Structure 1
């Protein structure tokens, strides 16, 4: 075997974590633009918004496929328990993503009543998918009941106060990402509106994230203990403070991508703090990474595949962003 067996579960968990955060920051931006679509009436502005994400949205969703398939192969027990507990929000999310995809791809050639229907589908699909992702995240942090690797709950744990709060905060966060994307990729009135909204949503996202983290410590005191015990917590919090300050100063800078990059960094730091709080659990409160792991041979094989697929997917995504770089114009 090309690496010690003892390292395989942690490496496998790191691979899954990487696909999750990459999906969130990439497709979260697309979903944020879709959510914001409801706040614009000007046909030209709508056309520009769709054109800004049309070339890259499908590549961003590749990370969702990698994450789901990787979880099944690397942690089959966690996959079984997770999808048994979250069948309704997971399936609803997938259906919403399909509806959004259809709206994105067919809107340009539609007219009249059909275009209005596709606009509603784009907003609804983006909003529902985001809410479902927030519910899934909140339910996982809240804890999923399992016994001997089998789900033992009711299947409605996701419909609680904490998961619903996480869903609302994620909608605000994705809308912030969407506004920062539009500030970078557009100009004129659309850029000005995005700038104004991004400043407001930045504070709301920060407040909502703080509420979720404090509430998480009340849901499970072990999270709070893990954060206090880690030597990485304070540097990460200081980094987050720096990113917040940089975000609000970035709008006056000539580089329009800086606000988006600051928010993406903030999402990454929050995700790192969440990992510190949860580790070594993969499904709180009773299923650890090692308990849920596939056999070492399976994990080694899948990690070899990840070592090839992840760089290729990153290169493809980077190339796509480079090809379609620059300001998006109505007739460009």
Structure 2
């Protein structure tokens, strides 16, 4: 049996996407959490927890986009055409977040509130648009003659807007539990309280999306609720509840600093897995599979050589940067 390059590239892109969600997720989550913290020194601590690593985290977004472009050009063309507006708004949000990240440390006290608002607004805009994109992909795209056949605002539906709101909640939870791990009192206590509220909101979001998708898409309902699939997939929602309960308990334990963040990663992974199960093997729901959207094997093989070289390098320097800047961040110290 030969090597299926399309499946290998699908795994690489999914891995890059998940790494981006995890790493840039808590970066963006810190911006989303700014309204919960008014003290300027505590806001500085929040930003300093990710200052050494935030820009490297976006490497995974570039890798995922470039992989989709090279390995699945049909999917890239359809998604870019269908989601031009939310993707453009997402990039604008990321630009505002990045500029504000650098400028807020160098601004005069009178200008600092402006850059704080830019940091907050850019983080929310980028996150919300990413959630809209996820919702639009779940809804699917009309394709005719290998081109997007819909309108420029097909992505604008109640479901996609709710997915945008849901991702804001997810990233805020990632950011809050990250700060539980990286900060100390009183900021840590504030984040424990915020995290508990966000856990409940996250469970509501996951429950609504888990019901909404099969009700709106019969094919997804068949995937989850037909036998024997139901028995195979039942562990996913079951594990979600177990992890959420463990997260709630770890937040109530003052001695547990890293546990809440690790359990939040588990919760995000389970939610991501559920979405993947719903659309597999379609790269462009509802009808175009990853094999139909794939580039020629020669192109995928040529790109794979580069990916096998660059991905380990990215993993090594990412691990090293997080290792070097491990530990708690104290007020008055940071990397600018």
How many Å apart are 1:308 and its aligned residue?
Answer: 2.0
Q: Is the 8 A contact 1:227 1:273 kept in 2?
A: no
Q: Which residue, 121, 124, 128 being the options, matches 2:121?
A: 124
Q: Which residue, 82, 99, 111 being the options, matches 1:114?
A: 111
Matched, 1:237 2:216: no
Give the equivalent residue in structure 1 for 2:250.
250
How many Å apart are 1:200 and its aligned residue?
Answer: 1.1
Give the Cα separation in 2 of the matches to 1:14 and 1:302: 14
Q: Secondary structure at the match of 1:290?
A: coil
CA deviations 1:178-228 (Å, max 9, x no partner) are 110111111111111100110111011011011112111122111122224
Q: Is the 8 A contact 1:44 1:330 kept in 2?
A: yes
Q: Is the 8 A contact 1:90 1:132 kept in 2?
A: yes
CA deviations 1:240-280 (Å, max 9, x no partner) are 22211211121216341110110111111111121111111
Give the Cα separation in 2 of the matches to 1:273 and 1:287: 19
Q: Which runs of 5+ in 2 are unaligned?
A: none
- Scaled by the length of structure 2, the TM-score of the pair is 0.94
Matched, 1:187 2:184: yes
How many Å apart are 1:232 and its aligned residue?
Answer: 4.2
Runs of 4+ in structure 1 deviating by more than 4 angstroms, as ranges, are: none
Q: Secondary structure at the match of 1:18?
A: helix
Give the Cα separation in 2 of the matches to 1:130 and 1:259: 21
Q: Is the 8 A contact 1:172 1:204 kept in 2?
A: yes
The alignment yields a C-alpha RMSD, in angstroms, of 1.4
How many Å apart are 1:11 and its aligned residue?
Answer: 1.4
Give the Cα separation in 2 of the matches to 1:84 and 1:326: 43
Give the equivalent residue in structure 2 for 1:134.
131
Alignment of 1:32-181 (within 5 A): 32-181=29-178
Matched, 1:11 2:12: no
Matched, 1:295 2:328: no
Q: How many residue pairs were aligned?
A: 329
Give the equivalent residue in structure 2 for 1:273.
274
Give the Cα separation in 1 of the matches to 2:268 and 2:303: 27
Give the Cα separation in 1 of the matches to 2:94 and 2:109: 23
Give the Cα separation in 2 of the matches to 1:267 and 1:135: 17
Give the Cα separation in 2 of the matches to 1:136 and 1:160: 11
Give the Cα separation in 2 of the matches to 1:217 and 1:162: 12
Give the Cα separation in 2 of the matches to 1:189 and 1:242: 29
Q: Which moved more, 1:100-109 or 1:232-241?
A: 232-241
Q: Secondary structure at the match of 1:282?
A: strand
How many Å apart are 1:236 and its aligned residue?
Answer: 2.4
Q: Secondary structure at the match of 1:291?
A: coil
Q: Which moved more, 1:252-261 or 1:61-70?
A: 252-261
Q: Which residue, 207, 210, 219 being the options, matches 2:207?
A: 210
Give the Cα separation in 2 of the matches to 1:267 and 1:28: 10
Give the Cα separation in 2 of the matches to 1:232 and 1:324: 41
Q: Is the 8 A contact 1:25 1:264 kept in 2?
A: yes
- Scaled by the length of structure 1, the TM-score of the pair is 0.96
